[in-house]
Amino acid sequence: MINLLFPIAVMMGKIFGFDRRKIERSFVAVSNQIIHHQHIKVRPEELLVVTPHCLQLASCPHKITRDPMANCKRCGQCDIGALVTLAEEMGFHFFVVTGGTLARQTVKKIRPKAVLAIACERDLTSGIQDVYPLPAVGVMNIRPNGPCYNTHVDMQQVRSEIESMLIKEENENG
C-alpha cells in the first residue's frame, strides 16, 4: 500500500512544495515500522546486508565490491571493516554494491528471505520498492562529507536491527 501511495505523496509534495528527501525519509520510516510489526525472523544465512560503495574510505586501495569479507583489511578507517566483522560474527551475507543494478543482481544471486540495506533516503526508497515483496529494512547512512563520499553508518543501529531480524539460536547447554 505505501509503495502505491509513494508516487502520489511525491506528486502532492511537488504541488505543496514539500522536500522530496523528507517524503523519502518518511517512506523508509513507515516501511521499517511495518516490518518491525510483522516480527520477521530469518536465519543468518537467509539475511542479506547491502551497503553502498560510498561507505568505503575513498582512498582505500582494496577492491571490496566483489568480496568484502576477503578483501577488506579491517584497518578501522571506515565502517566496512566493522560490518565485515559483524557478518563474520553473526553469519549473514554482506555485500558492497555500486548501484541499484548490482544490488538487484546480488538479491537474485543470494535469494535472501530478508534484506537490511544501508543507503541514503533516495536509494533506500527505490531499493525497498524494487525488492518488494521481500522485506527490506532501511538504515540511513550518515553523510558528514556530503552525499556519496566517505559516508558512515550508526553501527549500533545496524546491530540492533539485525538482532531483531534473526532467529535466536538455542543455547546448546540449555
Which residue ranges make up the site for ligand SF4 (CB under 6 A)?
56-57, 60, 62, 64, 72-75, 77-78, 80-81
Nearer to ligand SF4, 77 or 160 (CB): 77
Nearer to ligand SF4, 42 or 82 (CB): 82
Nearer to ligand SF4, 84 or 115 (CB): 84
Measured from the CB of residue 161, what is the shortest distance to ligand SF4 in angstroms? 21
Measured from the CB of residue 98, what is the shortest distance to ligand SF4 in angstroms? 14
Nearer to ligand SF4, 57 or 134 (CB): 57
Measured from the CB of residue 82, what is the shortest distance to ligand SF4 in angstroms? 8
Angle subtended at Cα 124 by Cα 15 and Cα 108, rounded to the nearest 5 degrees: 130
Measured from the CB of residue 71, what is the shortest distance to ligand SF4 in angstroms? 8
